[in-house]
Amino acid sequence: MNRLQAGLVTTGIGAILLCSGAITETIRSERLQSSTESSRWEDHSEELSNKLTRSWSGGLKAIHRVMGSDGDKENLNEWKLFYSLEHAIHQIPHKERSSFIDLYYSDTRRTLLENGDTLPALLLNPDHSKAIQFWEKHDGTYAIITMEKQLDQDGKRKWLESGTQIVKKP
């Protein structure tokens, strides 16, 4: 094979790799966009959407009853509700995300979450220093995990669990 043929083969292989890279990136971006869209509850069946909305509304009422009754406590109406960690995590500073994710999927959550429970939701306070993860359990009670940004033993700001409770349906 002479140099001209070798150059053509090399150029052809390069063109194929460039095209396959472009195709792969297009597929990846379409998957990313479709996965983001499919995580919105409007894309699910109306029955599922209604069930989750009722469940989360009940959870908010339970949280207000248990945590919002004292005048000294924060105004929970100002907290933002997130239906998935995927959407909430962007509100947390990048350097704190790892501890937040670790706490979100903690042993406490694994212990409380059972088959038949609904999908958890998350309340995040306006200054992003406290969060409440909650869900309706299969027996109609609500699991509530309170999380706060605190200084750990090493003096670093870290998300830590500040309370867990099971409350009856309002």
Tens of pLDDT, residue by residue over 117-167, are 999 999 999 999 999 999 999 999 999 999 999 887 888 889 999 999 999
The C-alpha atoms of residue 50 and residue 118 are separated, in whole angstroms, by 12
In a domain, 90, yes or no: yes
- Per the structure, the count of domains in the chain is 1
Q: How far is CA 41 from CA 49, 84, 86, 119, 124, in A?
A: 6, 10, 13, 12, 19
DSSP 81-144: EESSHHHHGGGS-GGGHHHHHHHHT-HHHHHH--TTPPPPEEEE-TTSSEEEEEEE-TTS-EEE
In a domain, 1, yes or no: no
In a domain, 108, yes or no: yes
In a domain, 3, yes or no: no
Split at pLDDT 50, 70, 90, the class of 33 is: very low
The answer to whether 43 and 90 have CB atoms below 8 angstroms apart is: no
In a domain, 33, yes or no: no
- 109 is in which domain, residue-wise? 46-167
The answer to whether 130 and 159 have CB atoms below 8 angstroms apart is: no
In a domain, 13, yes or no: no
In a domain, 5, yes or no: no
The pTM of the whole model exceeds 0.85: no
In a domain, 50, yes or no: yes
